[in-house]
Chains A and B, each alone.
Chain A
């Protein structure tokens, strides 16, 4: 239906904590049609994933215009919304993901410094 699957070639970064954990990441990006913002968000997401995750990830793009029921089922309000389904806990990030630092913090890909809470 409205799902797209992408697999990307692997590029390792041995000092990335995610790579060390060797987990598989499941990410979902909810968009409302192919708006410019959605395109930007997907592009940002792909680049972050390629940098951080060594290919151990899967991105699903869900177009709510085609599948409106999923908005209720997944409690999506804002668009674009990125949901990290795995690894747990579930994390949400809203926005076009242009602020990379925030994305990394939100996805728990950066060790937070003790004073920044």
Chain B
């Protein structure tokens, strides 16, 4: 049954894909085909680069030639500027894939007398499009015309005419404009170009620069409405779309080893879930990175790729330090299974870290990612932002079934569990490393605070770093409580001595028992022999008595017979 007012077939707006990382996801397929899109932003936001990448990718990946009309930079300047993004404009121009034209207007040279129109501009654009059969056009920055040409009325009328003309030609156009105070563009271009408006922003917060992109308007299409961070680097533009991250990822039943056999035992015998998030937290020097590297080692042995983000130590230092506990990471680096990425968190903003991380994961495609340590991002009071960033990162990992291993440093004074409260809900398996101070020494203990989805041990294990890796030992729980280290050793020796003693006791008692049994049996033997002699005597007497009775009876019978009595 059709709902009233619904078209029998829902028509989707035709879109031109940009293949700029992340942008197509936010826009739901790309820019509106055959229509103009307005890209506005302040100076240095990246409008020209975005437009250029749109054109270059169109030419190289979609075989759609493009026309770039620049009102500010010359062809040479443009070519040089985008060379750093890896775009070879000269080659593309030669192959007739891109048309670069600089439209130079200089106010000082022009005077006006009477009416005019901008047919000259139209002719130039027309020539460019026709020569290349172009499908994509960029006008950058058409607002310069306003400062160069007299009479804004004519200009506005001509611009309106131009955009209509471009629409009729069916080319997808990007028009760049400077951000105005209080309005999207300085000259109010958004009135004419209202099919799609993208706003670029470049802010400096806490000494770190952040670039953000927002789709202000997209007529006829759903689109992501948030601000998305983006990067410009040697691969061009990368936008990080958050819309694709939701709580709807499939979970795996597969389990992977932690690299420490006894730890696997504590995690119901099998280890972590693949695609889960593991956190190891503890105070300084407790061995968090060591646990991480043991996990890395195990993963590489299985042939999985690992991406290791380190925010405090250099990779060289890490590798060297891990050799001391018998973990050789160099071999995995050489085989290409392990890649390090070391940065100071304060070098960029959180968004840049996020985007960089995602980019690297997308290109390297690891099965395991290590973040060591995550609290390095917490500067001042920005815990909420750090949590947001980590949340997005964790979501991203889960969507891609990547197991994430994080370490976190907690301070000694405060309760270990509360300092990590900002991430506790993101973590599936949480291992806690604790110092136990007893009898003049500090030893480390490890226990599983939580592990979602599996029965885990609640026992505290003593945690030792030996030269052949990490060892987990049973912690001694004696009458005095938990003992570790030398106290444990001394208690164990005492235990051994006790045991020995008891064994000897037992032996002795057994021996005693044997003897008693023997003596009892001897006595029994004696009694028996006595009884035997008594028995034989009694039997003799009984026999005699019986014999006498018999004789008496026989005598009587004999006498009777001899007396001829009736018997």
- The residues of A with any CB-CB pair to B shorter than 8 Å are 30, 32, 37, 40-41, 44, 64-65, 68-69, 71-72, 75-81, 90-100, 102-103, 105-106
Contacts and interface: CB of A to CB of B under 8 A. Distances in A.
A101 B112 CA distance: 11
A8 B104 CA distance: 34
A77 B118 contact: yes
Contacts of B120: 30, 32, 64, 71, 76-79, 81
Closest 8 CB pairs of A and B: A95-B114, A98-B114, A106-B111, A96-B114, A102-B113, A32-B119, A76-B120, A79-B119
A77 B122 CA distance: 8
Contact of B127 (A41, A68, A79): A68
B9 interface: no
B101 interface: yes
Looking at A65, A78, A99, A106, which has the most chain B CB atoms within 10 Å of its CB? A78
B124 A78 contact: no
B123 interface: yes
Contacts of B109: 90-92
Nearest to A99: B113
* Interface of chain A: mostly helix, strand, loop or mixed: mixed
A68 B115 contact: no
B119 A95 contact: no
B479 interface: no
B149 A98 contact: no
A26 to B, nearest CB: 16
A96 B121 CA distance: 17
A92 B111 contact: yes
Contact of B114 (A41, A75, A76): A41
B113 A92 contact: no
Contact of A78 (B101, B118, B127): B118
Given A71-B127, A75-B104, A77-B105, 16 more contacts: A32-B119, A37-B115, A37-B116, A37-B117, A68-B123, A77-B120, A77-B145, A90-B109, A91-B111, A92-B111, A93-B110, A94-B110, A94-B111, A94-B112, A94-B113, A102-B112
A105 B111 CA distance: 9
Nearest to B110: A92
A37 B113 CA distance: 12
A25 to B, nearest CB: 17
A65 B120 CA distance: 9
Given A71-B120, A77-B120, A95 B103 contact: no
Interface residues of B, number: 23
A95 B116 contact: yes
Interface in B102-143: 103-105, 109-121, 123-124, 126-127
Given A64-B123, A78-B149, A97 B114 contact: yes
Contacts of B103: 75, 77
A64 B119 contact: yes
B13 to A, nearest CB: 33
A100 B109 CA distance: 18
Nearest to A90: B109
B116 A68 contact: no
A16 B120 CA distance: 33
B29 to A, nearest CB: 34
A6 to B, nearest CB: 20
A79 B118 contact: yes
Contacts of A76: 120
12 contacts: A68-B126, A75-B105, A76-B120, A77-B124, A77-B145, A78-B117, A78-B120, A79-B119, A92-B111, A93-B111, A100-B113, A102-B112
A102 to B, nearest CB: 4
Contacts of B127: 68-69, 71-72
A103 B113 CA distance: 6
Contacts of B101: 72
A101 B105 CA distance: 23
A65 B112 CA distance: 22
Nearest to B101: A72
Contacts of B114: 40-41, 44, 95-99
A78 B145 CA distance: 11
A80 B110 CA distance: 12
Contact of A77 (B111, B112, B113, B121): B121
Contact of A96 (B105, B110, B113, B149): B113
Contacts of A77: 103, 105, 118, 120-121, 124, 145, 149
A71 B125 CA distance: 10
A95 B126 CA distance: 22
B123 A71 contact: yes
Nearest to A32: B119
A11 B123 CA distance: 38
